[in-house]
């Protein structure tokens, strides 16, 4: 089970598997001992043990996967492996237990999980990491999250030796949130070489705290943008990293936060309900854009996200153009109003209503 740090993987396992053996590689003695002698993992397991063995932050000692493989084959043990980074596990020669493991991903909390605790204003400001709902000072928690995880852990893992440059890069990258990625521009703003900036973006992806959304161009009838869009995985994390001053337009930050929140919900619902959609954005060469397009066995659906409570028909132009190219698409204009309308084969739907019903929309239980 993979997922960014702080999404609740360890807590979920401890609550649901109280009798499991729990091996935490964030504990320094455990980490150093198993790093030197991964075969010692067997000594943590009681004789004739039939419950799960949990190894938390397994990516810190990739060699343990060979021992896990051996113990599955020889002792029929059952393991739950938790990880918040894929970087070391992608190295050549690492045993990824192909055919012997099911892969899951844990996201921040969803609207359904929050239930009555969901409040859009709170979500847009602090995001959906579980601790922002339990910590008395969510802003302080998020600042600590950025400091200890995105900066110090990057240094501890030896991913970069220049923490100042990486910190500048994080801020510069935050201005690319929800935008087509221009690595050269981010490198210039960070004061680093383009190749270094490209490596930093790879680090963010490997740590599962950012992703690149590819452009959708299947059977395209017109010239399309090819570069991906960039997003930090959580609204609270994005807004904590992004510096905001008197010259920044609050509505711009709010709009991007709204997109980020929607993307997080889209990814989680797609994963948890096994929808098997691929997530894209759509943009023509003359910059007519639709924020999110999902495509898979269940069809093609497109979502344009707007913060404003009111809209005019010009706001629907991107979805209309997409429908010309893909008439089978189900299209949704998601906005800050309170009425659901149907205009030119486009469902105009309130933001909170769309989030609450996203599972049904993707599963085509709610269609035009």
pLDDT tens profile 32-68? 999 999 999 999 999 989 999 999 999 889 999 999 9
pLDDT of residue 368: 45
pLDDT digits 0-9 by tens, 271-297: 999 999 999 999 998 889 999 999 999
Q: Can you list the pairs that 32-35 forms with residues at least 24 positions away whose Cβ atoms lie under 8 Å?
A: 34/61, 34/64, 35/60, 35/61, 35/63
Indicate the helix (H) or strand (E) that contains 24: strand 21-24
pTM, entire model: 0.92
What residue has token string 């337009």?
Answer: 249
pLDDT tier at 347, thresholds 50, 70, 90: very high
Q: How far is CA 300 from the centre of its chain?
A: 21
**What does the block give as tokens for 74?**
């020889």
Predicted confidence band of residue 2 (pLDDT cuts 50, 70, 90):
very high
Measured CA to CA, the distance from residue 47 to residue 34 in angstroms comes to 19
- Please give the pLDDT value at position 149: 77
User: Strand, helix or coil at 347?
Assistant: strand
Checking 26-34 for CB contacts under 8 A at 24+ apart, the result is: 26/56, 26/57, 26/60, 31/60, 31/61, 34/61, 34/64
- Angstrom distance (rounded) from CA 164 to CA 118: 36
For 99-146, the pLDDT digits (tens) are 778 889 999 999 999 999 999 999 999 999 999 999 999 999 999 999
DSSP string covering 255-309: HHHHHHHHHHHHHHHHHHTT---EEEEEEBTT--EEEEEEEETTEEEEEEE---S
d(CA 358, CA 352): 10
Q: What is the mean pLDDT of the chain?
A: 90
* Euclidean distance between CA atoms 71 and 45, whole angstroms: 11
Given the structure tokens 């600590």, which residue do they identify?
A: 144
Numbers of helices and strands, H then E, in the chain: 15, 11
pLDDT confidence band for 367 (50 / 70 / 90)? very low
Instruction: Evaluate whether 350 touches 337 at the Cβ level (below 8 Å).
Output: yes
- Whether the per-residue pLDDT at 92 is higher than 60: the answer is no
Could you read off the pLDDT of 143-175 as tens digits, one per residue? 999 988 776 667 665 666 677 888 899 999 999
């Amino acid at each position: 089970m993979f997922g960014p740090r702080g999404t609740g993987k360890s807590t979920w396992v401890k609550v649901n598997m109280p009798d499991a053996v729990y091996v935490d590689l964030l504990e320094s003695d455990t980490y150093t001992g198993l790093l030197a002698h991964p075969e010692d993992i067997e000594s943590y397991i009681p004789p004739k043990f039939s419950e799960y063995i949990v190894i938390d932050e397994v990516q810190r000692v990739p060699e343990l996967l060979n021992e896990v493989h051996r113990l599955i084959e020889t002792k029929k043990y059952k393991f739950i492996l938790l990880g918040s980074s894929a970087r070391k596990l992608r190295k050549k020669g690492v045993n990824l237990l192909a055919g012997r493991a099911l892969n899951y991903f844990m996201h921040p909390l969803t609207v359904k999980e929050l239930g009555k605790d969901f409040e859009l204003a709170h979500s847009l400001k602090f995001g959906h990491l579980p601790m922002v709902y339990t910590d008395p000072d969510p802003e302080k928690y998020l600042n600590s999250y950025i400091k200890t995880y995105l900066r110090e852990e990057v240094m501890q893992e030896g991913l970069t030796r220049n923490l100042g440059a990486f910190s500048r890069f994080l801020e510069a990258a935050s201005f690319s949130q929800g935008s087509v990625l221009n690595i050269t521009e981010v490198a210039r703003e960070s004061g680093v070489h383009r190749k270094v900036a490209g490596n930093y973006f790879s680090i963010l992806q490997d740590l599962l705290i950012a992703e690149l959304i590819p452009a959708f161009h299947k059977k395209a009838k017109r010239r399309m943008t090819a570069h991906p869009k960039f997003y930090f995985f959580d609204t609270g994390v994005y807004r904590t990293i992004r510096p905001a001053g008197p010259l920044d337009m609050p509505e711009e930050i709010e709009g991007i936060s709204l997109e980020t929140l929607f993307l997080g919900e889209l990814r989680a619902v797609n994963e948890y309900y096994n929808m098997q959609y691929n997530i894209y954005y759509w943009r023509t060469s003359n910059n007519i854009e639709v924020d999110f397009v999902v495509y898979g066995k269940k069809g093609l659906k497109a979502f344009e996200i707007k913060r404003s409570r009111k809209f005019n028909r010009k706001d629907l132009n991107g979805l209309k153009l997409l429908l010309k190219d893909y008439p089978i698409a189900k299209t949704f204009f998601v906005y800050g109003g309170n009425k659901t309308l149907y205009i030119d084969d486009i469902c105009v739907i309130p933001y909170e209503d769309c989030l609450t019903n996203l599972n049904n929309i993707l599963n085509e239980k709610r269609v035009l």
